[in-house]
Amino acid sequence: MNDCVFCGIVAGRIPSTKVHEDELTLAFMDIGEVNPGHVLVTVKPHAENIYALDGRLAAAAFQTAARVAQAINRAYAPEGLTLYQANGVAAGQTVFHFHLHLVPRYNNDGMRLTWPAKNPPRVQLEVNAARLRAALE
């Protein structure tokens, strides 16, 4: 994936500020950080989004995310920490190589994700869950 920015970072063709690296993952500073200590965790092989991850890559990504989140907590002691992960333009994805954002958070830091809860009746949740269970089979 020659035109992928994060493949370029993994390969060392594009500069980055690394925090952690192992066989399957790389954690580096987000160039557009929202707060100091904002880290991106990516998988080394090109995978466009979460749908492209196998179990091994998914496990590795979350293991690194937990480890780096704990380091952020020790280093910055933020008031909170948000994991943000976007798949597709509609979800806000701008770099199409899977990554997780680890964002240290503070009260009134200006970061916002609106959450228009619909609170449907239980019967609707049952319908939605049945659809997903069928898709899992």
Q: From the list ligand AMP, Zn ion, none, which binds 32 (C-beta under 5 to 8 Å, kind-based)?
A: ligand AMP
Q: From the list ligand AMP, Zn ion, none, which binds 1 (C-beta under 5 to 8 Å, kind-based)?
A: Zn ion
Residues forming the site for ligand AMP (CB under 6 A)? 5, 14, 16, 30-32, 40, 86, 92-95
| Beta carbon of residue 77, minimum distance to ligand AMP (angstroms, whole number) | 23
Q: From the list ligand AMP, Zn ion, none, which binds 14 (C-beta under 5 to 8 Å, kind-based)?
A: ligand AMP
Task: Find the residue with minimal CB distance to ligand AMP.
Answer: 32
Binding test (CB under 5 A) with Zn ion, winner from 97, 99, 100, 102: 97
Nearer to Zn ion, 96 or 104 (CB): 96
Q: Which residues contact 109 (CB under 8 A, 6 or more apart)?
A: 34, 35
Distance CA 3, CA 16 (A): 16
Distance CA 54, CA 52 (A): 7
Q: Which residues contact 50 (CB under 8 A, 6 or more apart)?
A: 58, 85, 87, 98
Active site residue 101: no
- Main-chain phi, psi angles of 58, to 5 degrees: -65, -45
Binding test (CB under 5 A) with Zn ion, winner from 1, 29, 95, 111: 1
Strand, coil or helix: what is 41?
Answer: strand
**7 counts as binding Zn ion under rule CB under 5 A:** yes
Considering 20, 97, 99, 101, which one is annotated as catalytic? Answer: 99
Distance CA 8, CA 86 (A): 20
Please identify every residue annotated as catalytic. 99
